[in-house]
Chain A
Amino acid sequence: MRTTPVLTRLAWRYLWRNHRRTIIMLSAIVIGVWAMIFMTALTRGMVDQMIKDGISVLPGHVQAHNPLFLDDPSVSNRISIGDAELSRMFDPLSFKAWASRVKVPAVITSERESRGVTLLGIDPAAERAFSFVTYDDVEGRFLESAEDNAVVIGRKLANTLDTRIGKRVVLMSQDPDNEIADRGFRVAGLFEASMPAFEEMYVFVGKKTAQKMLRIGDATTEIVFVGDDYRDVEPTYDRVRETLDGDLKVSRWYEIDTYLGTMLKVMDGFVLIWVIVIFLALSFGLVNTLVMAVFERIREIGLMLALGMKPASILGQIIIESMMLLAVGLAIGDLLAWATIQPLKEGIDISAVAEGMEMMGASSVLYPKLYLYDMLLANVVVLILGFLASLSPAWRASRYEPVEAITKVG
């Protein structure tokens, strides 16, 4: 439209005619936009961390089990495909990482106490990519190979069991014939986990050692795969299913940890609701500002109409003015959000409520996560809703009769 430049100029100048009002409204928009993005980044950070922690324990994006295993986690329901065969099947698929492991419930007994745990028989080399234990941070040492004869347990478990590095513990589980299978291990290392509950739940032994103890040859109970992005596991899922061709039950991470899966969905919904709620709270002020802006220049609108400006141009002028106000507010708000989130990238220590966060499944350091997508969502929602909110005052402004408007005594 050829009138756009003149409308834009008029809109901009009018915006600053009453600069106090504009600045107040702008401040409100900036605070609103900042709150939208900041809050979203915090929740995203929390959920991301939860999922990262959660997946690294599951671990992986996609898992394969014997179809009976999930309901009856016993070595009777094992995966009998040997390692050589698994390598032949999965190595060519170039997943980010994959590993087969022995994972069964077990009892650990020290000289003084016993506890129920989950025994993880792993090949440390294959698991390094996605374990929740950072091998290097382990006090003592981590497992060195699949044949390693030692056990690595959580620091908290060691405390309850009254044991320490170098001491012996006994692990007890069942073999395929339901006979008790047990073996003594020397504690080689103590690990720390971001979620204290994991320190009590998991014990690591060598995969081969576990297989020997459980008398299952080279069978395993779980195969885990890591793809590129936990939000998009379909490609990995499809390839694993195709390759296994119906022999095993293949599950996506959110089917196994339904809590995390829902959490992710709920948070997506929350982000949108939060953005809309803030906008609605802002919209009253926005409409008010526009109504006032129109009211105080009714005569000028009448003049423009009398001079031959089309009503559509008046409509456009008010909407451009509103969009400019929002755009400036969004720009500053975005910048402010970025500037406040950036220094917090290293994490916010919220250990004061650590156990509460653990109850929610989150760890005690919060890493705000600013996603471009969320920022765009907030901006687009504000602009679209802002456009809709300005329609009514702008429409009214364009409906004035020039004579009435011009003779209006303010």
Chain B
Amino acid sequence: MNIVLRLAWRNLWRHSKRTWLTIGAMVFSNTLLVFMISIQFGMYGLMIDNTLQVFSGHMQIQAPGYKDDQKMRQVVPHVVQLASNLRKELQTDTIAARGWAFALASSEERSYGIGVFGVEPVFEPRVSNIPGLIKEGRYLRDPDATEIVIGAVLARNLRVATGDELTLLGSGRDGSFSAAVVHVVGVFESGVVDIDRNFGEMPLETFQDVFYMDGAGHQVVVSAATLDEAELLQPKVVAALPGGTDLVVHDWDALQPGLRQAIQADMSSAFFMYGILVILVAFSVLNTQLMSVLERTHEFGIVMSLGLKAGRLGRLIMLETALMGIIGMIIGSITGAIFTSWFTVNGLSIPGMEEMAANFNLPARIYPEVTPWTAVAGPLVVFLFTLLASAYPALRLHRLHPVEAMRAN
């Protein structure tokens, strides 16, 4: 081992309790950072995936203005054809066409205003979770059957079960009156009250007949396996749009603007907290290293009078800090990873948080996962701030006068 390194190492253990306490501060913060960052980013991933997978997909092709106004006449023409062309061109089947209309749904006893989606029964299950959430009856089968699946809360409010009839009253694409009688074939339960309460799906062809859509729909949903893939896919989707249309492609961010902002808001408060933790560790290190420099004034006086430059002593202090920081980083990353892994296996649930979790499409029990990135990012930042904190004591050495320093005891 290099002599300077050995010297720094020995110096570190002259006050082993102090060194361990300082390392303890690092380990505490690092463990917390690894744990919190693992949960946080795991949660964001879940929030995005779950929210998008429920219904909206990673991107949608729509008529311009439809996203904000949702008016019947803002249509995607020949929507089934477009979806089928895209599936062929992009060689993926996670693409489906939809139409949407508002209708008054009436059972024998009750009437509620609901949103009715026309969907492709074959492709819808590949872009949305809802077909898989049927808890009673079955999902849609035939593209032209007069059937509907509705949410569980809606079914309760309408007092209907599978097999019952519903009358839909609404207005068609041209504003004319439209009506239909459909059979409830299935009831789904997503756990998201807004979806379960005012939402039904029927076959797209039937939908187009009832609402006089003339072959048009309102959106083509494109889903991808991951967010990254979705980003790669988007330019291809744009390129694959037929020439001469004014259709637009909205990515998940545009479809669910609340999602990214909720994440941003949460991130900024999380980063504030992380920042405070890091600063507190930095102060701890600053204090320790300053003490360590002050109590060695006499000793430094001697070596300086032997001809050692203040700059080299300063580097020695930085090296001591770096050694301490590396120990803190390694132990902190490991304890953080172990601590987090325990929850990876056993899951983390905060009593009473279920409601909040559901609001963000999160399961009640979270299984955080340690990735190399989450295990190292926080501790690395702590390490950098640690080094930064030792700069002050290191620079103070330049003001040291050898003779005066030697006189200090």
A and B in direct contact, judged by CB atoms within 8 A: yes
Contact in complex: B257, A259 (CB < 8 Å): no
- Mark interface residues in A231-256 (1 if CB within 8 Å of B CB, else 0): 00000000000000000000000000
Q: A27 contacts the other chain (Cβ, under 8 Å)?
A: yes
Which A residues are in CB contact (< 8 Å) with B262? 353, 355-357, 359-360
Asked if A262 and B352 sit within 8 Å, CB to CB, the answer is yes
- Do residues A353 and B287 form an inter-chain contact, with CB atoms below 8 A? no
Identify the closest chain B residue to A258 (Cβ): B355
Cβ contact within 8 Å between A39 and B28: no
Cβ of B114 under 8 Å from chain A: yes
A361 to B266, CA, bound (A): 13
Q: A31-B283, A173-B111, A360-B359 are in contact. Are A71 and B156 (CB under 8 A)?
A: yes
Query: For the complex, what is the distance from the CA of A353 to the CA of B261, rounded to whole Å?
Result: 5
Check B21 against A113 for contact (C-beta < 8 Å).
no
Which one of B17, B102, B258, B265 contacts A114 once the chains associate, using CB atoms below 8 Å? Answer: B102
Q: Which of B242-260 contact A (CB under 8 A)?
A: 257-260
Q: Is the pair B284, A28 in contact by a Cβ cutoff of 8 Å?
A: yes
Collect the chain A residues with CB atoms within 8 Å of residue B18's CB: 288, 291-292
Residue-wise interface mask of B (360-380) relative to A, using a CB-CB cutoff of 8 A (1 in contact, 0 not): 100000000000000000000
Closest residue of chain B to A260 (Cβ to Cβ) is: B355
Q: Which residues of B contact A360 (CB under 8 A)?
A: 262, 265, 359
CA distance A178 to B272 in the complex (A): 55
Cβ of A9 under 8 Å from chain B: no
A361 with B359: CB separation less than 8 A: yes
Nearest CB in chain B to that of A353: its residue: B261
Residue A174 lies at the interface, judged by CB distance under 8 Å to chain B:
yes
Size of interface on A: residues with Cβ below 8 Å to B: 70
**A73-B157 contact in complex given A21-B291, A266-B350, C-beta closer than 8 Å:** yes
For chain A, residues 343 to 361, give those with C-beta under 8 angstroms from any C-beta of chain B: 350, 352-361
Contact pick for B113, options A107, A178, A295, CB 8 Å: A107
**Between-chain CB contacts (< 8 Å), 21 pairs:** A21-B287, A21-B291, A25-B287, A31-B280, A32-B276, A105-B157, A107-B104, A113-B72, A174-B110, A281-B276, A284-B24, A284-B284, A285-B25, A288-B22, A289-B287, A291-B17, A292-B18, A355-B258, A356-B263, A358-B258, A359-B259
In order of increasing CB-CB distance, the 7 nearest A-B pairs are A356-B261, A116-B113, A284-B25, A356-B262, A28-B283, A359-B258, A107-B113
Q: Give A contacts to B, CB under 8 Å.
A: 18, 20-21, 24-25, 27-28, 31-32, 35, 39, 42-43, 71-74, 105-107, 109, 111-117, 159-160, 162, 172-174, 178, 180, 258-259, 261-263, 265-266, 269, 274, 277-278, 280-282, 284-285, 287-289, 291-292, 295-296, 350, 352-361
